[in-house]
């Protein structure tokens, strides 16, 4: 049975996590307590809860998605644990919140998630509102030059991560309804799309969050293509994007800085090029086999950090150093498999909304991964967004759990229909 496969896979993931934590512990015994090893056990426990909820709510859903997401989280958690056990504990708490959000999503929408379609405009406006939230004076907060945090006393979160999901739901609903007319190329139907999209862009530029702007743009174009099948839209959108990017390059110094740092990081190695240079040194240092967990070099001899944001934006650089090409390639393969399973779900779904939703969620996941990792390996200019499931950070983790729940819901329905006698 499908869910037993999932359980078996999760147990394997639990074993891998245990081995990972044990390796870190062995390499760094002097610094970390044996008690922290229990995080690995707790972690498996959380995922077993998620599994049980899935067993009840989405019995026919793809059995590989949850374990693969769990493995990603495990890799991230292991590296965070290696960098700072206390952070791993906090990240573990976020996994709990994530599992709760995951379970809540599944429970709420277990009968028919397609009802969401009726609220598509609410989701569209909601996405904009969430995006605009950090720009609101009192609650908004600027971190590292980008204003994308909301500070509500005890809780700080990045609403952008959730705006992404809302935007996908909106696009899935809207495009399902308008795809025929859009496919015929009636420009006036593009109106609401351009309004929502333009609003999103405006907010993002205003908050200086270039990575997310690129992400939303990619999701938008990808879903538009799936809905209409017209490459002219993609070409037009890309042209629009390039035009916008060039305009931004002229007026926003931050963009110029990023592009220069991308083309020639060594032109300013101590300032704008610093992050990417340190990241590349870290990756290169790992070589083929890596230094081994707990044995990489992330600090100066005086204990100060070498790689900035090692646990969040640059976690891939640390993975590449300690696990080498072998580990980095395995991680990328995992992302690829999740993407493939996601698109497979979209293919199997039998209605337009489900297809668009699954394709949108999957593509958003893929393109987010590409934007951050492409920046880290200097394939594209560097923009600070999180690596799904791996980076340290609560909002990102919780949002990705919800995204996973969405895919499972679509997958469950598609598989259930395929099994049911007609």
Pick from 226, 357, 361, 409 the residue near other proteins by CB under 8 A: 226
What backbone torsions phi and psi does residue 147 show, to the nearest 5 degrees? -95, 85
Pick from 76, 324, 381, 394 the residue near other proteins by CB under 8 A: 324
Residue 335 interacting with other proteins (CB under 8 A): yes
Pick from 71, 150, 201, 320 the residue near other proteins by CB under 8 A: 320
Residue 294 interacting with other proteins (CB under 8 A): yes
Residue 76 interacting with other proteins (CB under 8 A): no
Three-state DSSP string of 289-312: CCCCCCCCCCECCCCCECCCCCCC
- Nearest Cα to Cα of residue 240 among 197, 185, 298, 296: 197
Residue 301 interacting with other proteins (CB under 8 A): yes
Q: Which is nearer to other proteins, 155 or 270 (CB)?
A: 270
Find the binding residues for other proteins in span 353-372 (CB under 8 A).
355-356, 359, 362-363, 366-367, 369-370
Question: What DSSP designation does 386 have?
Answer: P
Find the distance separating the first CA and the last CA of the chain, reported in whole Å. 21
Question: Which of these ranges, 90-98, 113-121, 245-253, 341-349, lies near other proteins under the rule CB under 8 A?
Answer: 341-349
Q: How far is the CB of 288 from other proteins (least distance, A)?
A: 6
Residue 20 interacting with other proteins (CB under 8 A): no
Pick from 49, 248, 280, 417 the residue near other proteins by CB under 8 A: 280
- Nearest Cα to Cα of residue 168 among 23, 364, 326, 321: 364
Residue 31 interacting with other proteins (CB under 8 A): yes
The rounded distance, in Å, linking the Cα atoms of 139 and 149 is 8
Pick from 77, 131, 346, 399 the residue near other proteins by CB under 8 A: 346
The rounded distance, in Å, linking the Cα atoms of 319 and 71 is 14
Q: How far is the CB of 406 from other proteins (least distance, A)?
A: 16
Which residues, including other chains, have CB under 8 Å from residue 41's CB and lie 6 or more apart?
A: 18
Residue 8 is encoded by which pair of tokens? Answer: 């078996």
Burial 291-310 (b: 16+ CB within 10 A, else e): bbbbebebeeeeeeeebebb
Compute, in degrees rounded to 10, the torsion defined by CA atoms 370, 376, 381, 382: 100
186: burial class by Cβ within 10 Å (0-12, 13-18, 19+)? exposed
Q: Which is nearer to other proteins, 136 or 332 (CB)?
A: 332
Query: Angle 65-83/85-109 helices, nearest 10 degrees?
Result: 160
Which residues, including other chains, have CB under 8 Å from residue 177's CB and lie 6 or more apart?
A: 120
Instruction: Kindly determine how many residues on this chain lie close enough to bind other proteins according to the rule CB under 8 A.
Output: 61
Q: Which is nearer to other proteins, 288 or 421 (CB)?
A: 288
The rounded distance, in Å, linking the Cα atoms of 390 and 114 is 29
> What is the CB neighbour count within 10 angstroms for residue 276?
23
- Nearest Cα to Cα of residue 14 among 101, 84, 78, 105: 78
Q: How far is the CB of 125 from other proteins (least distance, A)?
A: 26
Pick from 55, 269, 308, 417 the residue near other proteins by CB under 8 A: 269
Q: How far is the CB of 281 from other proteins (least distance, A)?
A: 5
What are the Cα distances from residue 396, in Å, to 35, 91, 99, 161, 309?
Answer: 27, 11, 13, 6, 15
Q: Which is nearer to other proteins, 30 or 251 (CB)?
A: 30
What are the Cα distances from residue 418, in Å, to 66, 293, 412, 422?
Answer: 21, 44, 10, 9
Pick from 124, 159, 211, 222 the residue near other proteins by CB under 8 A: 222
Pick from 99, 133, 213, 373 the residue near other proteins by CB under 8 A: 373
Q: Which is nearer to other proteins, 355 or 413 (CB)?
A: 355
Q: How far is the CB of 187 from other proteins (least distance, A)?
A: 21
Question: Which of these ranges, 66-74, 94-102, 107-115, 327-335, lies near other proteins under the rule CB under 8 A?
Answer: 327-335
Find the binding residues for other proteins in span 376-415 (CB under 8 A).
377-379
Q: List contacts with other proteins (CB under 8 A).
A: 27-28, 30-31, 222, 225-227, 229, 269, 277-278, 280-288, 292, 294-295, 297, 299-303, 306, 320-321, 324-325, 328-329, 332-333, 335-336, 339-340, 343, 346-347, 352, 355-356, 359, 362-363, 366-367, 369-370, 373-374, 377-379
């Amino acid at each position: 049975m499908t869910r037993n496969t999932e359980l078996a896979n999760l147990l394997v993931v639990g074993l891998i996590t245990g081995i990972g934590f044990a390796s870190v512990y062995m390499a760094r015994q002097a610094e970390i307590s044996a008690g922290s090893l229990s995080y690995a056990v707790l972690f498996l426990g959380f995922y077993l809860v998620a599994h049980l909820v899935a067993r009840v709510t989405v019995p026919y859903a793809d059995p590989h998605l949850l374990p693969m997401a769990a493995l990603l989280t495990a890799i991230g958690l292991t590296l965070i644990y290696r960098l700072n056990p206390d952070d791993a504990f906090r990240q573990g708490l976020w996994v709990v919140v994530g599992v709760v959000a995951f379970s809540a999503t599944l429970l709420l929408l277990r009968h028919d998630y397609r009802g969401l379609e009726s609220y598509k405009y609410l989701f569209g406006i909601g996405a904009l509102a969430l995006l605009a939230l950090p720009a609101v004076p009192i609650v908004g907060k600027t971190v590292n030059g980008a204003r994308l945090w909301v500070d509500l006393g005890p809780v700080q979160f990045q609403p952008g991560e959730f705006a992404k999901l809302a935007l996908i739901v909106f696009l899935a609903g809207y495009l399902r309804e308008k795809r025929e007319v859009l496919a015929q190329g009636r420009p006036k139907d593009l109106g609401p799309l351009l309004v929502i999209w333009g609003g999103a862009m405006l907010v993002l530029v205003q908050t200086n969050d270039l990575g997310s702007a690129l992400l939303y743009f990619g999701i938008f174009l990808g879903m538009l293509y799936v809905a209409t099948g017209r490459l002219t839209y993609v070409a037009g959108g890309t042209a629009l994007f390039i035009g916008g990017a060039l305009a931004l390059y002229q007026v926003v110094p931050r963009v110029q800085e990023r592009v220069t740092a991308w083309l020639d990081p060594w032109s300013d190695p101590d300032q704008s090029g610093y992050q990417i240079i340190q990241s590349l040194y870290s990756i290169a240092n790992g070589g083929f086999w890596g230094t081994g967990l707990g044995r990489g070099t992330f600090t100066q001899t005086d204990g100060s950090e070498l790689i900035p944001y090692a646990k969040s934006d640059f976690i891939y650089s640390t993975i590449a150093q300690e696990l080498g090409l072998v580990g980095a390639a395995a991680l990328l393969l995992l992302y690829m498999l999740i993407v493939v399973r996601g698109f497979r779900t979209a293919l199997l779904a039998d209605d337009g909304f489900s297809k668009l939703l699954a394709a949108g969620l999957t593509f958003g996941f893929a393109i987010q991964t590409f934007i951050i990792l492409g920046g880290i390996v200097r394939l594209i200019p560097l923009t600070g967004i999180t690596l799904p499931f791996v980076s340290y950070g609560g909002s990102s983790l919780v949002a990705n759990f919800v995204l996973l729940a969405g895919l499972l819901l679509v997958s469950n329905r598609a598989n259930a229909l395929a099994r049911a006698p007609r």
